[in-house]
Structure 1
Amino acid sequence: MAETIPAALGEAADRFGEHPAYIQDGEEVSFLELLRRVRRAARGYVALGLQPGDRVCVWAPNSIGWVVAALATSYAGGVLVPVNSRYTGHEVAEVVDRTGARIVVVEDGFLGRTQVADLRAASDLAAVLAVIELKDLSDLDMGAVTTAEIDAIAESVCADDVADILFTSGTTGRSKGAMSAHRQTVGVARAWGDLGGVTGQDRYLVVNPFFHSFGYKVGIVTGLLTGATLYPVATFDLDATMALIETERITVLPGAPTVFTSLLNAPGRADRDLSSLRLAVTGAAVVPVVLIERMRADSPDGLAFEQVVTAFGMTEAVVVTMCRQGDSAETVATTCGRAIPGMEIRIGDEGELLVRGDYVMLGYLDDPAATAEAIDADGWLHTGDVGVLDEAGNLSITDRLKDMYISGGFNVYPAEVEQALARMDGVADVAVVGVPDDRMGEVGMAYVVGTVNPDDVIAFAKGRLANFKVPRHVELVDALPRNLSGKVLKNELRTGG
């Protein structure tokens, strides 16, 4: 059983052969062809001077080329550093410099920007051997590096070698690079695929960005392990996504809650045949219960998924808990499921969720102090999330510790308020934060997307929540600020950004 990414790729080519691994914009690439492209690019990397353990940054949107660039990094013994496709040149330069990256692969011109020029303007890229445009990846000079030599390098990669460094979103400060070993990246992808029942018959739409663990680890790597055909989406467009589901008969669609909220509220949804969808996997710190109910509903108001699974994960541990096939609708709608095999969870001080096990990161890149702060001496990762466990071990995340505010001496967890308001007709999306108040210390401010009256929102809350939990202010907005992982940027709401 493969424990490294190169081994997983080799086994996939052997097992699945000419079965399509990727389909995008009319291009179909089999597992055998994927291996061929990866080998070629890896030979080019080594010819440029890449050594085992060197870092390679990939700064591009989802594409087949992204997959080749990333897998070639592992095949050449390197360490993959995925970079947010929406980052500016200055932000990417910081990641490149901090990781000492030797190669940077870029899709120049994405969203009409000048990525290569911006990157070179932001840094002298002193350690970088080459900046490669994604379109040129297949034309790299392989020099004297042979297929046999690159295969030997791939075979020398060990399960405990660092496979990748994924940077946290950095919404509360400087981002940190979470390092994972090959055994962890492959193991967590296998666990996710097993629990989701993913097979080679599945057609898997990857809306989640590849630079995020949800797209990379439980997307690309799960595809190698299961033989599922992946359909990468570079930018999320509602009409295009629904058309793709309909024409390609997509069966698996993981995504942040905002993806499914958008689908449910799409004006053209009734005109599309989305009946092929069988498995949805969603997760975030908090998932609205009403969203899960509508995703499962076989009605004009729902999406009629056969199986909706909620899960909980984070950059530092990828997948921690997950619901199982056969779990009751109530369990799926109200919890994130139980710890996956190889992981354990418990609730610590202040209700904080603590996580330990096979898939907890090795640590933060060049930051032993932050690592020690995050992972205690007993190996427990302190998540910063507040949660509760039921008798069966199912986890419910109630909020983030940092998002809690105190109103009139009482703790208020915004997620509870958001869950209540999400059930109001006309509310499409909602986020609640604490704002200063002379009398109460802090009170709730609700930012609402939808066709409602602010006074009606407050009245609705009063009918369902204790008075200290009821927002005192409501502001209607066109959209909530979110990062590309779907998380609401509450700092921006608090500061009015």
Structure 2
Amino acid sequence: MTATDAGPRARLSARTIPEALAERAARTPDKLAVVAEDARGGVLRLTYADVERESRRVAKALIASGVGKGDRVAIWAPNVWEWVTAYYGTQLAAATTVPVNTRFKGPEAAYVLAKSGASTLLTVTGFLGTDYLGWLEGAAAEQPTPALRRRVVLRGEVPEGAVGFEDFLRAGDAVSDAVLDERTASLGPDDRSDISFTSGTTGSPKGAVATQAQVCAPFGAWADVVGLRADDRIMIIAPFFHSFGSKAGLFTALLAGATVHPRLTFDPAGCLRLIENERITVVPGPPAIFHGLLADPARSAHDLSSLRLAVTGSSDVPTDLVLAMRGELGFEHVVTGYGLTESSGVATMCSHTDDPETVARTAGRAIPGVEVRIDGGGGAPAPTGTRGEILLRGYNVMSGYWRDPERSAEAFVDGWLRTGDIGELDDAGYLRVTGRSKDMYIRGGENVYPVEVEHALARHGDVREAAVIGVPDARFGEVGRAFVVPRPGAGLDAESLIAWARTRMANYKVPRYVTFLDELPKNASAKVFKPALRELARAAEADGGGRTDGGGTDGGADGGRGDGAGEGA
């Protein structure tokens, strides 16, 4: 079966991100665009005119430093206000944004920088005790980044070899408005907007290439479907490096003329205060965020009457959660959706007019101009209500993976994007996602690919073999359980292995639980038989809540740095 709607439409007439920024600043220059914490802990309020002015300064500085059209500029930073102007500035300079996951450790980030060929890195120092530039330096021997020529510190102390943000901006004063305008005007709807890296089943991240049109059109349609309004005040907890934060949050707010309130971390008590003090109306994010808000003991002491719209997804959303979001948090509308990095982060959405059961049971219908098909085999669509692989086609779908023709070809069949997810369509065209192929699981809104974690664990000197699966978790939807075969004579324990893993991979990838085995169960082809591991996981859960074999404390792998929607939630 195939489901489609006709004709994308955006709140603005823009074909590119710079056109959208210019049009919004011209229409509503004095409207608040961003309300965020500044470097000293105060509150900074930027209008759309302010955002355009500061973004142009960034663009001029990039041009002055030698960044050309199409060059890659990486942003490795949390949801600081500087991220906003760095993003729009990169677009104004007709460069390509490469968002870097703030949970990545040195080797992971270095791989993205090397694969993308980024010449410039915009980052921060000292955020929650992290040292991004130090991590890169430490990873240099394992993963060099030969194309990286400049490191700009948006916020924090400036180490040797880097340049501070203000010094960087001052160098751009030599670039005239005419030079910048000529560069920006060279950008068309088919030019690159960003390269967003997503992990893959081979263990190495893949860079999904999005064009200007693939950001402007889908999220204009997205804003219409969910019912975003110009008077909305949007609390953005999802990290900007994720399309849920930057595109479905930051950019759709610009299209609608709304105000964004980015959060550096997910702190339920702080979020509740913000909702009350700033009269927040919209909260996008994975279910873990809403679980956290509902569970906060001080929730009833706050005035949450301004809330009207919640946008969630990323994992199964129980009907009880939708009802609690409406009844206890006071949201008038709750909507869910489905998308992936390769589809610009969006493909289907529930409407703000859909009932709670539909919102909980489905991921909505295709957004206007996008087609969803369930593969029935042999190139034919599956009958209504029949499960199969979800295929996508439309203006939102990536052109391919950056500098990876082999995996780009594998991602498509007869012009349709293969999602690797399993689902079915009903008579009304609503999509129900019923499973995920290739063993990928979702922890608190973040995709985790077991093979990537397995490869990382195998680098530990005392680990002979490792296999990872996702197991249910009330708070995060799913978390990882690792089954590890130690090397003979190794004195390995779960706590030390998890502590080691935290230094090698993003916290959301670190397994919550570790089970040690003498051998991994394997099939006749000598491949790990994961159904048997799932049976072992269920037995472990029944015996001791899944925590008797190590690593199962909330202060462990899940304590994290709290720098995004899925961590510390």
**Is the contact made by 1:285 and 1:312 (CA closer than 8 Å) also made in structure 2?**
no
One of 335, 355, 370 as aligned partner of 1:309: 335
Flag the 1:158–1:446 CA change in 2: closer, same or farther, 3 A. farther
Deviation at 1:185, TM superposition (A): 0.9
One of 65, 70, 82 as aligned partner of 2:87: 70
Q: Deviations over 1:289-328 (max 9, x none)?
A: 32222212x2xxx222100001011111111100112212
Flag the 1:430–1:105 CA change in 2: closer, same or farther, 3 A. closer
Structure 2 segments unaligned to the other structure (5+ residues):
1-12, 38-42, 156-163, 378-386, 442-471, 484-519, 524-528
Q: Distance in 1 between matches of 2:537 and 2:233?
A: 36
Q: Deviations over 1:162-197 (max 9, x none)?
A: 100000145861110000000001112211111121
2:546 paired residue number? 475
1:111 paired residue number? 128
1:126 paired residue number? 146
Q: Secondary structure at the match of 1:69?
A: helix
**Is the contact made by 1:286 and 1:398 (CA closer than 8 Å) also made in structure 2?**
no
Deviation at 1:481, TM superposition (A): 6.3
One of 50, 55, 59 as aligned partner of 1:38: 55
Q: Which amino acid aligns with 2:19?
A: A
- Counting only pairs closer than 5 Å after superposition, residues 278-293 of structure 1 correspond to structure 2 as 278-293=308-323
Q: Distance in 2 between matches of 1:205 and 1:182?
A: 25
Q: Distance in 2 between matches of 1:43 and 1:433?
A: 44
- Counting only pairs closer than 5 Å after superposition, residues 6-21 of structure 1 correspond to structure 2 as 6-21=18-33
Q: Distance in 2 between matches of 1:473 and 1:343?
A: 46
**Is the contact made by 1:285 and 1:397 (CA closer than 8 Å) also made in structure 2?**
no
Deviation at 1:342, TM superposition (A): 1.3
Which range moves more in the overlay, 388-397 or 128-137?
128-137
One of 524, 532, 551 as aligned partner of 1:442: 532
One of 411, 415, 437 as aligned partner of 1:374: 411
Q: Which amino acid aligns with 2:360?
A: A
Flag the 1:485–1:108 CA change in 2: closer, same or farther, 3 A. closer
Deviation at 1:437, TM superposition (A): 7.5
- Counting only pairs closer than 5 Å after superposition, residues 179-258 of structure 1 correspond to structure 2 as 179-258=209-288
Taking only aligned residues, the RMSD between alpha carbons, in angstroms, comes to 2.9
Q: Distance in 2 between matches of 1:321 and 1:158?
A: 26
Q: Distance in 2 between matches of 1:433 and 1:93?
A: 24
One of 385, 403, 417 as aligned partner of 2:421: 385
One of 432, 453, 457 as aligned partner of 1:396: 432
Q: Distance in 1 between matches of 2:230 and 2:535?
A: 47
Q: Distance in 2 between matches of 1:275 and 1:111?
A: 32
- Counting only pairs closer than 5 Å after superposition, residues 333-344 of structure 1 correspond to structure 2 as 333-344=360-371
One of 291, 295, 300 as aligned partner of 1:265: 295
**Is the contact made by 1:202 and 1:250 (CA closer than 8 Å) also made in structure 2?**
yes
Deviation at 1:116, TM superposition (A): 2.1
Q: Which amino acid aligns with 2:118?
A: A
Flag the 1:481–1:186 CA change in 2: closer, same or farther, 3 A. farther
1:411 paired residue number? none
Q: Which amino acid aligns with 2:358?
A: T
How many residue pairs get aligned? The number is: 445
Q: Secondary structure at the match of 2:546?
A: strand
Q: Which amino acid aligns with 1:338?
A: R
Q: Distance in 1 between matches of 2:96 and 2:30?
A: 28
Q: Which amino acid aligns with 2:434?
A: T
Q: Distance in 2 between matches of 1:485 and 1:392?
A: 35
Q: Deviations over 1:24-46 (max 9, x none)?
A: 12100000011100111110110
**Is the contact made by 1:49 and 1:129 (CA closer than 8 Å) also made in structure 2?**
no
Q: Distance in 1 between matches of 2:148 and 2:195?
A: 17
Deviation at 1:253, TM superposition (A): 0.2
Q: Distance in 1 between matches of 2:281 and 2:46?
A: 19
Q: Deviations over 1:91-111 (max 9, x none)?
A: 222211111111110111112
Q: Distance in 2 between matches of 1:112 and 1:101?
A: 25
One of 341, 347, 372 as aligned partner of 2:374: 347
The alignment status of 1:101 with 2:100, answered yes or no, reads: no
Q: Distance in 2 between matches of 1:259 and 1:30?
A: 28
Deviation at 1:384, TM superposition (A): 1.1
Deviation at 1:21, TM superposition (A): 0.4
Q: Distance in 1 between matches of 2:435 and 2:113?
A: 33
Q: Secondary structure at the match of 1:157?
A: coil
The alignment's TM-score, normalised by the length of structure 1, stands at 0.83
Q: Which amino acid aligns with 1:209?
A: P
Q: Secondary structure at the match of 1:198?
A: coil
Deviation at 1:402, TM superposition (A): 3.0
Q: Which amino acid aligns with 1:305?
A: F
Flag the 1:345–1:285 CA change in 2: closer, same or farther, 3 A. farther
Q: Secondary structure at the match of 1:148?
A: helix
1:468 paired residue number? none
2:395 paired residue number? 358
**Is the contact made by 1:37 and 1:68 (CA closer than 8 Å) also made in structure 2?**
yes
Q: Secondary structure at the match of 2:210?
A: strand
Ranked by relative contact order (alpha carbons within 8 Å, sequence separation 6 or more), the top structure is: 2
Q: Which amino acid aligns with 1:342?
A: G
